[in-house]
Amino acid sequence: MKAPNIAARPVELLTEEEAKGELARLAAEIAHHDQLYYAKDAPEVSDAEYDELRRRNTAIEARFPELIRADSPSRRVGAAPAAGFAKVTHRVPMLSLENAFAEEDVRDFFATVRNFFRRPEDLARVAEDAIEVMAEPKIDGLSAALRYEGGRLVLGATRGDGVTGEDVTANIRTLKTIPERLAGSGWPEVIEIRGEVYMERAGFFAVNAEREAAGEPVFANPRNVAAGSLRQLDPAVTARRPLKFFAYAWGETSGPFARSHAEALAHFHDWGFSVNPHSRLCRGVAEVLAYHRDLAETRAALPYDIDGVVYKINELELQNRLGMRSRAPRWALAHKFAAEQAQTVMRDIMITVGRQGTLTPTAVLEPVTVGGVVVQRATLHNEDEIQRKDVRIGDTVIVQRAGDVIPQVVGVVIERRPKDAEPYQFPERCPICDSLAVREPGMAARRCTGGLICAAQAVERLKHFVARDCFDIEGLGEKHISAFWQDGLIRQPGDIFRLKAEAIAEREGWRRLGRGQREEADRRDRRAPPHFARPLHQRPRYPAGRPGDGAPAGPPLSLIRRVAARDGGGAGPRQLGACPSARCARHRRGHGGRHRRLFRRAA
């Protein structure tokens, strides 16, 4: 017996009431994913799944225009800039590009360009076999705008939502591939250079290895680590990350400086920027498509990830006349690569238990290379998806990696199913604590009902609690949390503040800091921004959770006492009280300073 799944119902069959509910659900879900993607750099779903949500939203709105919500996702792109950085309004908006996936779409794009021009002298220039197009690898990174006045870098900003970005000048200055002063000559008095901040795969692996060793969560892909690194509140962190920059466009300029895109790129190079050496000036549509096919085959050999090719009409005069259509220019197109797929055997289905008790299924695969990356795990999403695809252990499955998030199992090769394969039975008990795992009506996830008696949930919550985007307790990473939990030192978040320095100091790898080190740590803590200055998502989320999480509701921080003593000893626990306000000075002190020092690991 199953509750009707409205989310899966075709748009044409929705009643008005259901459509209303769906629009509300989609608005919330899309906002959630936007937040993860733009502000947290940690997407949970693939781009394709995200696009599907948006498509469904648009389709429902088209059928029920009177139900369009004030907060409809179709009314905005991207997410508003996070707090913690000053906002920058782009004087020339940073546009997004029209996407194409099939060669047919690319031909259509050029046909539209041709049809735009009527004069005979133009027709020759935009003919299918003659039109000049700059084709550039589309780097999977983070767009940035760099403003130069009198040849000096004065402002570096992220794209944000295209209209308003964030001032990340201090971080931008740490990039070695971005000149502080423009080289050569001939640059306009004011020019805003635009391009992509990215990280090569080698750098990405190194950063992740470091994080893994420190017990911190790893990044999903180079784009996320590039974005996360550029949007650090501490430029010293950015400086340690091997970020690079390719220049490929411009915003405001005080005067014209080129007649074609190719000429502009040549100037950028002379002024000291890296421009992508694989960019090529193509003549005619056939050449453009050949370039795309070529790059699709050789992309794995590039040191960085690309997810397609960008085509730009080369002559700026034509660009200007073409202008834009709603949010995207008519003179450019992003031709994406198809998602990459491979087949392999699924050895097992692993169930992990999250912080809120959600049981998540992951496919354990025979290692297989998908788009140049070895894949051993892939997401199966949830119980319904396993059922819908009828994925069985031992099956040969199709794994897809879309250049971005966690690879996913998209289907089964039925012909290769072993005879003895049986339908997968999703566990009804938590694999960790054996409590009943239940599904509430209408929910996709099955949850362990064990609450904090469930080791998985307890440890996951503790990890969350000490993580950088929460209480930011330096030195107390995932590994230590698990170990402390196992030894009974910490059972719930409040225990962290009751830890005695003596108890920790005896453990391997920990010792009491010397006085000089303590003072140094103090200084560092003071430099670290207090949490209320951080982006919203990085502010503490109170550990006892919200009602419905299976955690007790109520003013959660009143549960927490902290050790107020300088040396982690004795002035005794002090009530912090409920802490709703970012302006609360005690609260600020509590998170910014002392207890972090308590747990700093000995060198």
Catalytic annotation, residues: 138
Contacts of Zn ion in 390-449 (CB under 5 A): 430, 432-433, 435, 448
Measured from the CB atom, the residue of 232 and 435 that comes closer to Zn ion is: 435
| Smallest distance from Zn ion to CB 20, Å | 36
Q: Please answer whether residues 131 and 261 qualify as being in contact, where contact means their C-beta atoms are separated by less than 8 angstroms.
A: no
Q: In whole angstroms, how close is the CB of 352 to Zn ion at the nearest point? A: 11
Minimum distance of Zn ion from residue 551's CB (angstroms): 14
563 pairs with which residues across the strands? 573
Measured from the CB atom, the residue of 429 and 561 that comes closer to Zn ion is: 429
Residue (450 or 556) nearer to Zn ion, CB? 450
278 residue type, one letter: H
Tokens 């992508």 label which residue? 276
For residue 541, which of 484, 481, 461, 478 has the smallest C-alpha distance? 461
The Cα 247–Cα 178 span in angstroms is 9
> Which is nearer to Zn ion, 331 or 485 (by Cβ)?
485
Based on CB atoms, which residue is closest to Zn ion, 94 or 432?
Answer: 432
Nearest approach, Cβ of 433 to Zn ion (angstroms)?
A: 3
Residue among 54 and 429 whose Cβ is closer to Zn ion: 429
- Which of 349, 352, 396, 404 lies closest to 373 in space, CA to CA? 404
Among 156, 195, 450, 568, binds Zn ion (CB under 5 A): 450
The minimum distance between CB 309 and Zn ion, in angstroms, equals 47
Between 355 and 480, CB nearer to Zn ion: 355
Instruction: Show the binding pattern over residues 315-334: x = contacts Zn ion (CB under 5 A), - = does not.
Output: --------------------
Task: Report the distance separating Cα 598 and Cα 474, nearest Å.
Answer: 9
The contacts of residue 453 (CB under 8 Å, 6+ apart) are: 433, 435
Size of the site for Zn ion (CB under 5 A): 7
Best CA proximity match to 541, nearest among 525, 519, 556 = 556
CB of 441 to Zn ion, least distance (A): 21
Asked if residue 359 binds Zn ion (CB under 5 A), the reply is no
Bridge partners (DSSP) of residue 397 are 344, 412
Shortest separation between residue 486's beta carbon and Zn ion, angstroms: 16
451 binds Zn ion (CB under 5 A): no
* Burial track 508-541 (b if 16+ CB lie within 10 A, e otherwise): eebeebeeeeeeebeeebeebebbbbbbebbbbb
How are strands ordered across the β-sheet holding 332-336? Answer: 99-100, 332-336, 306-313, 132-139, 280-283
Contact code string over 50-89 relative to Zn ion, x by CB under 5 A: ----------------------------------------
Q: Which is nearer to Zn ion, 402 or 433 (CB)?
A: 433
Q: How much is the CA Rg of the chain, to the nearest whole Å?
A: 27
Distance CA 143, CA 519 (A): 39
E strand or H helix at 336, and its extent?
strand 332-336
Exposed/middle/buried for 431, CB within 10 Å: 0-12, 13-18, 19+?
middle
Strands 332-336 and 573-575 turn out to be unpaired
Residue 361 touches Zn ion, criterion: CB under 5 A? no
- Structure tokens, 395: 């099956």
| 454 touches Zn ion (CB under 5 A) | yes
Shortest separation between residue 483's beta carbon and Zn ion, angstroms = 20
Q: Are 37 and 43 in contact (CB under 8 A)?
A: yes
Residues forming contacts to Zn ion in the complex (CB under 5 A) are 430, 432-433, 435, 448, 450, 454
